[in-house]
Amino acid sequence: MKSLIVIPARYNSSRLPGKPLKCISHKPMIQWVYEAAKNTTVDKVLVATDHPLIFNTIKLFTPDVKLTGECKTGTHRVIEAIQDEGADIVINLQGDEPFINPKDLDKILENLRQDPNNIYTLLTDIKEEDMWNPNVVKASMKDDNVIRKFTRGWNWTGGGKPYRHIGVYGYSVKILKEICSQPPTQSSNLQKLEQLSWMDKGINIMGIYTKNNSLSIDTEDDLKKAEVYAAKR
Instruction: Render pLDDT for 142-164 as a digit per residue (tens, 0 to 9).
Output: 999 999 989 988 776 666 889 99
pTM comes to 0.94
pLDDT value, residue 231: 85
In this prediction, residue 40 has a pLDDT band, given cuts at 50, 70 and 90, of very high
pLDDT digits (tens, 9 = 90+) for 44-87: 999 999 999 999 999 999 999 999 888 888 899 999 999 999 99
Domain 3-232 has CATH 3.90.550.10: yes
9-13, 118-122, 132-136, range with greatest mean pLDDT: 118-122
Position with higher pLDDT, 13 vs 7: 7
More confident site: 197 or 156: 197
Q: Can you give the residue ranges of every domain in the chain?
A: 3-232
Instruction: Give the mean pLDDT of 177-200.
Output: 91
DSSP the chain: --EEEEEEE-S--SSSTTGGG-EETTEEHHHHHHHHHHTSS-SEEEEEES-HHHHHHHTTT-S-EEE----SSHHHHHHHHTTTT--SEEEEE-TT-TT--HHHHHHHHHHHHH-TTSEEEEEE---GGGGG-TTSPEEEE-TTSBEEEEESSS--TT--S-EEEEEEEEEEHHHHHHHHTSPPPHHHHHHT-THHHHHHTT--EEEEE-S-------SHHHHHHHHHHHHH-
Is 80 exceeded by the pLDDT of residue 13? Answer: no
